Amino acid sequence: PPAIRKISEEHDKVFVTGCMEPDTSKPRANAAFVVLARNKELDGVIQSVKSIERHFNRWYHYPYVFLNDEKFNETFKATIQNYTSGSVEFGLIDPSTWGFPDWIDPKVAKEGIAKQGDAAIMYGGMESYHAMCRFYSGFFYKHHLLDKYEWYWRLEPEIKYFCDITYDPFLKMIETNKTYGFTIAVKELKETVPNIFRYASAYKRVNNITSQGLWEMFVEPQPDEPKEEPDTSPNTHNLPEQILNGDPSRANLPPIDGEAMEGEKYNMCHFWSNFEIARLSWFRSKEYEDFFQMMDRSGGFWMERWGDAPIHSLAAGALLAPRDIHYFRDFGYRHTTIQHCPANAPSRQLARSPFLEATTVDEKKRKEEDEYWDSWDTPKENGVGCRCR
């Protein structure tokens, strides 16, 4: 994981870590939790809210914005308010930002989705999942309930924080001029994003964007052997033509072929976006919007199953620098089968916090703990913590 280590070592030793008395004396940031959820996920949402309240928000009382493509029912709304210590708003998602855009032929898109289902691509056959990924890629930050906020912290049903967060991460990010924060980086399932990198590279090339050092994190290192001949086989991914009602001119896409790849290959690495703390103005910038438009017009949100995580990550790769990114190595965080435990983080081998250094650690106990977390049911190569390889 040389790239991620580089971030850690060179750019990112700026935040204090948790487990101290929370300092709540400073005014809050202009920020909210954002939770997209369905009514049927109430139990999972309660689990998540309980966890973030217990480990952070009982001191800080940040507000919540819940979003849904259907109306939240009264049970959902009333129950959630029993668990939250900040104000809560519930928003309905505008149908124009959920589901097929008007320039797509729904019949073709539905066929494309069915094919992905037949191919057993994870969530590939689920139209709503495609809609969700597109919403989180290009629309959540435009929801009117978020207009007043400058920062967000994404929560999902069934997540768990297992360390106290005793400082305000928004204020820290502002202080240190960060834009995007993550706690886990993993590899994407290849079959969900066969062409995502072609389009992301094309965005960079067409807009003459030079990497500020983060793009390389997403590029597969080339073997030292002599390079293979470039792939000159016919273009096989005619996404726009397939989906644009026979009017490819509307897509306004650059030529995309083997040569356009400039020899670079996506390494599938991405920041796992079910946890995110980020600056909304970045998503609202012209550069991000242009990126989203190009990705969207390719049809990849439907004809492939592009997740919002690789979309956010590749946008960051194109538009941000390592110094803009913060790795929250001190946040213990788990969602489904993947977790980040601070004990496993590279920070253990790098700079340890003064607080940790000053504490008498029961080495035997710590070893047992480490073994426990290490043995936790997680595919290692799929990235416990931030090891993306």
What positions carry a catalytic annotation?
Answer: 276
**DSSP code, position 191:** G
> Bridge-partner residues for 66, per DSSP?
35, 90
Specify the residue, 157 or 346, whose C-beta has the smaller distance to ligand GDP: 157
DSSP H/E element including 118:
helix 106-118
- Using CB under 5 A, list all residues that contact Mn ion: 156
Binding-residue total with ligand GDP (CB under 6 A): 12
Position 77 contacts ligand GDP (CB under 6 A): no
Residue with tokens 């788990």: 334
> Parallel, antiparallel, or unpaired: how do β-strands 338-340 and 333-335 relate?
antiparallel
The 3-state DSSP class for residue 103 equals coil
Span from 35-43, 161-169, 202-210, 263-271 in contact with ligand GDP (CB under 6 A): 35-43
The beta strands (E) that lie in the chain are given as 31-36, 64-68, 88-92, 151-155, 159-161, 180-182, 185-187, 269-271, 276-279, 325-327, 333-335, 338-340
Task: Tell me the C-alpha distance between 157 and 93, whole Å.
Answer: 18
Kindly state the smallest distance separating residue 26's Cβ from ligand GDP, in Å. Answer: 30
The binder of 253, among ligand GDP, Mn ion, none, by C-beta within 5 to 8 A per type, is none
156 binds ligand GDP (CB under 6 A): yes
Contact between 41 and ligand GDP per CB under 6 A: yes
Exactly one of 37, 65, 109, 243 binds ligand GDP (CB under 6 A); which one? 37
The distance of closest approach from Cβ of residue 155 to ligand GDP in the complex, given in angstroms and rounded to an integer, is 8
Q: Which residues pair with 32 in a beta bridge?
A: 152
Smallest CA-to-CA distance from 234 within 258, 210, 263 is with 258
Residue 183 lies near ligand GDP (rule: CB under 6 A) = no
Contact of residue 370 among ligand GDP, Mn ion, none (CB under 5-8 Å per partner type): none
- Report the nearest approach of ligand GDP to the CB of residue 22 (Å): 27
Q: Give the residue with the Cβ less far from ligand GDP, 123 or 203.
A: 123
Residues 111-140 that bind ligand GDP (CB under 6 A): 128-129, 132
Enumerate residues 263-282 that contact ligand GDP by CB under 6 A.
274
